[in-house]
Amino acid sequence: MNTFTLTRRKLLASGAAGGMIAMIGPRFAAAQDAERHTLRVGMSGFPPAIDPVLYTHTATRRLAPQIFDTLVAYDQTPAMNLRPGLAERWERTDDRSVKLFLRQGVTFHDGGAFTAEDVTFSLSPQHLLGPDMAGKATAMETLETIDSVEVIDPHTVIVRAKGSDALLEKRLASWGAEIVSKAAFDAAGSWDAWNTAPIGTGPYRIVSQTLDQEVTLISHDAYWRGLPPPYAGIEFRIIPETASRMNALAAGEVDIITDIAPDMFPQIENHPDLEVAGGPVANIRALVIDTTDPILGKVGVRRALSLAIDRKALVQALWGDRLTIPNGYQLSSFGDAYIEDFPQPAYDPELARQLLAEAGYAGETITYKLLNNYYPNQVSGAQVMVEMWKAVGLNVELQMMENFGQIQTSPVHAIYDSSNTATIPDPLGFPWRIFGPSGQNVRLGLWRNEEYFALGEKLKVTVDVESRRSIIRRMLEIVDREDPPVVILHGSGQFYGKRKDVAWVAGQTLDLDFGPFNAASVQN
Amino acid sequence: MVRYLLIRLLRAFITITLVVTFAFIVLRVSGDPAISIMGDNASPEAMAAFRKEWGLDQSIFIQYFNYVTAIFQGDFGHSMRGGGPALDLVVSRIPATVMLTLPALLLKVAIGVPAGIYAALHHDKSLDRTVMVTAVAGYTVPSFVLGLLLVQIFALWMPLLPTGGTGELSHLILPVLTLGIGGAAILARFVRSAMLEVLGQPYIRTANAKGIPWGAVVRAHALPNAAIPTVTIIGFMVGSLIAGSVVTESVFSWPGVGNLLVVSVTARDLSVVQCILLLVAATMVLSNMFVDILYGILDPRLSNANSEGR
C-alpha cells in the first residue's frame, strides 16, 4: 500500500509545479481560445422569436440551449436524467414544493449577476404569458402548475406548484423554463426590443439576427461552467432548401446541417469528410383519427388500421432501421412512469380482417388527408400503408392537402399525420397534453374518453410511483386498443449531416446543444 | 392620348384590386396562420390569443374592409413573424432581388437578342439549328435543376464559387447565370420568330431588289419591325424583376423578395404575402403600360389607332 508523506522537497516541488501551472494556465487557455473556431450551422428555418416562452417552434428550440440555462436541466441521454443547471442542487420540501440552491458567481451576457430575483421574474406571468400577458406564451403548457416562487435569500428559492406535482423538477428543466435577466428585460422596455437580443446566462450570447438569413452568436467566455464554451461563436445560416443545405455542407461552407431527409443518408455517408448524426428523439409519429366519423367511430376499424401496418418493414424500408417503434404512446425516458412491459403495436393482418368483419365494415372509403412531405417520407409512408390496408380489405383514399388548417377544418372525417413531442418526459407532458381535455384531438372534437380524462386528472395530483404506474398503464390501454384516438406509427428522428471533425453529439429532443454540456464536450 | 392613358390607368387599378382581393380571400381560406407560425404544439389559448392579436377572429368581410381602408392610409399591415411593418420588410428585400434580376435581364438581352437575330439570318442552316436546340434546352430545363446543376459543377466539382448565400460578388454569379440562361433562351426564340416573320415581308424583298446592302436592310427595315414582339417579351421580363426569381432565390438562399414570398406563404404571413403580390401586380401593370407607350414610339400607327379609340 502506498503511503503519502509530505517532505520539504515534495512541498518545494509541488510549489514549483503550482507556479508552472499558474504561468502556463492562461497561455493554455489562450491557446485553446485561438484554436476555437466559429461553428457554422445550416438550419432550415428562422426562429419566430429567440425567447423560448413565446414559441414552441423548432428553430427557437434549436437556439435556446446556447443562449439560456434552466435551473435544472436534462442530461440529454436516452434516460433524460436531471442534472444541475443554474441551481447547484435542489430538494423536495413537500408534494408541491421544491427548494433550489442557486449557483453563485453566475453572470448574464451583459455582465449582470444572476440572483433569485431573475428566477422569480422568469417564472412569473409577466414573463411567461408574453406580450400584454395575453396568454400567447406557449411556456404555460409546461409551467401552468407553478403557483409562486418564494425568495429565501438571493441564492435560495422555493418554487411552489398549485397542487401536488410529481413533475415539478422536470417542469423546471422543460420548454419555457429558461432563466432570463430581469434587469435586461426591464431595460429593453418592450417585447419587440427584448426579442432582438434577449439576455440569458447560456454559453453563447446573441450578436445579430437578420430575418430569414442568419442568427449569429458569440462565446460567453464568463460562462459558469469553468472553461470557455467549445466554439468562439456560432453562425446559424438559414438555408430552407434541403438540397441547398446539403450542397453547403458538401462544399465545406457549413459544419452541420439540420433536417436531412433519409434519401440523403447515402450521399453523406459516401463523402469521406461527412457523417450522419442524430437518431430517435422524444417524439412519436402517429395518424390522428376523427372518431366522430361513422366508419372511424368503430373501434374495430380503428384497431384494424393499426394491426394492418407492418411497422418494422416500414421503418426498415424508409428509414434504414434508424427509428424505434414505441411500446404504446410513451417513451423510455419517462423513468418511473415508463411501463416497460407494455406491448408494441402488433402487426396482425388476420386479426385486422376479423375485427373489420365484426365491425360490419363493407369497404367504405376512409379518407387520409395528407400533406406533401411536411414530415420526412410522409408521402412514401402513406402510399406503403395504403397498400398494407388494402391487403386486409381497408379502402383508404389519399387526399392531398396544403396545410394543417385545411386538414383540421371541421368536419375532418378522416385520418391525418401528426408528430408530437414530449415537452416533459412523462405521460403528463406527452399523451395527456395531446389526448387530455385541452389536447388537440379533443379541442378539434375528434375524440373524447371520460375515463381517460378522469385518470389524467388523478395522475396530475398523484405522487406515489406505484399508484402513478397503475393509472398510466390503464391510460395506455385506452389509447392503444380500447378507444384509440390515433394509430401509432413509429418514433420520430432528428437527423443531421455534419463534418466528421466536428465533435458534437445530438440529444434526445429538438434542442441543439453546442455548449460545454454536450456529450462530446463532456467526454473530452 | 390622355383618354387612352386614363383607360389604361383604370384597367390597371381594376387589375390590382382583383389581384389583391383574390390573394386576400385565398390566403385566408387556405390555411390558418396561427398553426403555421405558432407551431402545431402550441396551446389552444396561445392560438386564440394569436388570432385575436392579428384580427383573424373577425369575419372575412370585416378583415377585408379593415385591410383596404388601411392600404389607402399607407398601412400595409405588419409581419406576423418579424413584427415590423410588412412594407418595410418587402422594400428592404427589393435591392437584393434587383441586384440579381437586373444583371440577369442584361444577360438575357445580351445573349438572347443577338442569338435570335443570328439564328433568323441563318435560317435552316446548321448554326440556326444549333442555336435553337440550345435555346429549347435552356428554355425547358427548370431553373431549380439548372441552378443545382451549376452548383454541382462550379461549387462542388470545381470549388470556384459558393453554393449560395450573399455577401460577396462571387455569390451573384451562379444565381445570375441560372436566371439569365433560361431567359436568354426564351428571348432568342421570340426574336428569331419575329425576325423570320419580318424577313418574309414584301417590303424586305423590295428593299433587297433595290440593291440596298443586306446589312442595311436588316438594320433599317427588319430590326425595327421585329422590335414590337421583342419589346413585349422584354416588358414581361422587366415586370418580373421583383418576383421573377422565386425559385432561384430559394435554391441559392438569396435574401430577396422571392425568398421572402416563399417563406411568407409557407408561414401564412398574410400581410407580407399581400404586400408582395400588390407590389408585383403594380410592377407588372406599370411595365405593361410602359410597353404600350413604347409600341406607339416604335410604330406610330399603333398610337394613332389607340388615339382614335379603335
Mean pLDDT along residues A264-270: 93
* Residue B112 domain-assigned (yes or no): yes
- At residue B305, the pLDDT reads 59
Q: Which amino acid is at B258?
A: G
Whether residue A347 sits in one domain with residue A313: yes
Best probe of the B interface among A247, A288, A424, by most B CBs < 10 A, is A247
ipTM over 0.90: no
Instruction: Give residues with Cβ within 8 angstroms of B250, minimum separation 6.
Output: A240, A241, A244, B144, B258, B259, B262
Of B35, B48, B82, the CB nearest to A405: B35
Average pLDDT over residues B149-178: 93
pTM for this structure? 0.83
Please give the C-alpha separations between residue A180 and each of A73, A489, B185, in angstroms, as whole numbers: 15, 38, 56
Q: Are residues A298 and A249 in the same domain?
A: no
| Residues of chain B positioned with their CB less than 8 A from the CB of A141 | 41-43
Interchain proximity A405–B262, CB inside 8 Å: no
Residues B22 and B155 in one domain: no
pLDDT tens-place string over residues A430-479:
999 899 998 889 988 999 999 999 999 999 989 899 999 999 999 999 99
- B interface with A, Cβ–Cβ below 8 Å: 30-32, 35-46, 48-50, 52-53, 81-83, 89, 148, 151-152, 155-156, 159, 162-166, 250-253, 255, 259-260, 262-263, 268
pLDDT exceeds cutoff 90 at A278: yes
Report if residue B290 sits inside a domain: yes
Could you tell me if B254 and B52 are in contact, meaning their C-beta atoms sit under 8 angstroms apart?
A: no
A319 and A242 fall within a common domain? no
Residue B39, domain member (yes or no)? yes
Can you tell me the distance from the alpha carbon of B5 to that of B9, in angstroms, rounded to the nearest whole number? 6
- Same-domain status, B116 and B192: yes
- How many domains are there within chain A? 2
| Best mutation target, A191, A195, A241, A371, to test chain B (most B CBs within 10 A) | A241
Residue A128 and residue A84 share a domain:
yes
One domain, residues B43 and B163: no
> Is the model more confident about B157 or about A130?
B157
CATH number of A22's domain: 3.40.190.10
pLDDT band of residue B295 (cuts 50, 70, 90) is confident
Degrees to nearest 5, angle at CA A517 with A512 and A522: 120
Distance CA A336, CA A473 (A): 12
Residues A414 and A382 in one domain: yes
Q: Per residue in B131-168, is it b (16+ CB within 10 Å) or e — as a string?
A: bbebbeebbebebbebbbebbeebbeeeeebbbbbbee
Same domain, B68 and B137: no
Evaluate if residue A243 carries a pLDDT over 60: yes
- d(CA A267, CA A246) in angstroms, rounded, equals 9
Whether A274 contacts chain B with CB within 8 A:
no
Residues B116 and B61 in one domain: no
pLDDT digits (tens, 9 = 90+) for A386-436: 999 999 999 999 999 988 878 888 899 999 999 988 989 999 999 998 999
Domain with A368, as residue range(s), is 283-492
The per-residue pLDDT for A350 is: 97
Could you tell me what percent of chain A has a pLDDT over 90?
A: 74
- Which CATH number does the domain housing residue B272 bear? 1.10.3720.10
The verdict on residue A361 lying in a domain is: yes
Q: Tell me, yes or no, if A408 comes closer than 8 A to chain B by beta carbon.
A: yes
How close B134 gets to chain A, by Cα (Å)?
26
Backbone angles phi, psi at A417, to 5 degrees: -80, 145
**Taking the CB of residue A21, how many other CB atoms lie within 10 A of it?**
10
Residue A137: closest CA among chain B residues belongs to which residue? B46
pLDDT above 50 (res A245): yes
B157 and B41 inside one domain: no
Range from A503-507, B10-14, B126-130 that averages highest in pLDDT: A503-507
Please tell me the predicted confidence (pLDDT) of residue A33: 58
Looking at the complex, does the CB of residue A137 fall below 8 Å from at least one CB of chain B?
A: yes
Contacts of A213 in chain B (CB under 8 A): 166, 255
| Residue A45 shares a structural domain with residue A172 | yes
**Domain presence at residue A2:** no
Minimal Cβ distance to B40: which of A134, A136, A404? A404
8 Å CB contact of A244 and B48: no
A244 with B81: Cβ contact below 8 A: no
Taking CB atoms and an 8 Å limit, are A253 and B250 in contact across chains?
no
Answer whether residue B310 shows pLDDT above 50.
Answer: no
> Is residue A1 one of the residues assigned to a domain?
no
B268 Cα to chain A: minimum distance (Å): 10
A133 band by pLDDT with thresholds 50, 70 and 90: low
Task: Please report, as a single letter, which amino acid is at residue A317.
Answer: A
Task: Tell whether the model's pLDDT for residue A23 goes beyond 60.
Answer: no
Q: Is B252 among the domain residues?
A: yes
- Using 50, 70 and 90 to split pLDDT, how confident is the model at B225? confident
Note whether residue B80 is domain-resident.
no
**Cβ under 8 Å to B: A residues 27-56:** 46, 48, 55-56
Flag whether B84 is in a domain.
no
Residues B57 and B119 in one domain: no
| Residue B150 sits in the same domain as residue B223 | yes
Q: Are residues A466 and A507 in the same domain?
A: no
| Contact predicate B182/B139, CB 8 Å | yes
Helical spans, DSSP H, in A290-377: 299-307, 311-319, 349-358
Based on the domain organization, do B239 and B265 belong to the same domain? yes
Question: A325-360, pLDDT tens digit by residue?
Answer: 999 999 999 999 999 999 999 999 999 999 999 999
Nearest to A403 among B31, B81, B163 (CB): B31
Same structural domain for residues B129 and B257? yes
- B53·A134 Cβ contact <8 A: yes
Using an 8 Å CB-CB cutoff, list chain B residues near A238. 253
Residue A405 to residue B36, Cβ atoms within 8 A: yes
In tens, the pLDDT along A505-523 reads: 999 988 999 999 998 876 5
| CATH code, domain with A452 | 3.10.105.10
At A202-221, the pLDDT tens digits run 999 999 999 889 999 999 99
Could you give the C-alpha distances from B272 to B87, B206, B280, in angstroms and in order?
A: 7, 57, 12
Look at residue A83 and give its three-state secondary structure.
strand
- Closest CA relative to residue B151, chosen from A415, A226, B159, B263: B159
B206 and B168 in a common domain: yes
A244 inside 8 A of chain B by CB: yes
Residues A103 and A72 in one domain: yes
A208–B contact, CB cutoff 8 A: no
pLDDT(B242) > 80: no
- Both A321 and A226 in a single domain? no
> When comparing pLDDT for A487 and B83, which is higher?
A487
**How many domains does chain B contain in total?**
2
Residue A27 lies in a domain: yes
Q: Poorest-confidence range of A125-139, A320-334, A456-470, B219-233?
A: A125-139
| Residue finishing a domain among B22, B40, B72 | B72
A393: region left, alpha or beta (phi > 0 left; psi from -120 to 50 alpha): left
Cβ separation B253–A243 shorter than 8 A: no
Q: Do A57 and B151 touch (CB under 8 A)?
A: no
B154 found inside a domain = yes
DSSP letter at A155 equals T
Q: In degrees, to the nearest 5, what angle opens at C-alpha B203 toward C-alphas B199 and B205?
A: 65
Contacts of B38 in chain A (CB under 8 A): 55-57, 138
Residues A206 and A242 in one domain: yes
Q: Are residues B67 and B97 in the same domain?
A: no
- CA dist., res. B247 & res. B193, Å (int): 28
Q: Are residues A134 and A227 in the same domain?
A: yes
Q: What are phi and psi of B132, to 5 degrees?
A: -70, -40
Whether the per-residue pLDDT at A5 is higher than 70: the answer is: no
Range(s) of the domain holding residue B192: 90-300
Would you say residue A261 lies in a domain? no
The answer to the question of residue A275 being in a domain is no
Residue A113 pLDDT exceeds 90: yes
Identify the closest residue of chain A to B31 by CA–CA distance.
Answer: A405
When the pLDDT of each residue in chain B is averaged and rounded to a whole number, the result is 86
A204 and A88 in one domain? yes
**How much is the mean pLDDT over chain A?**
90
Give Cα separations from B201 to B8, B194, B221, B308 (angstroms).
32, 11, 10, 27
B310 domain-assigned = no
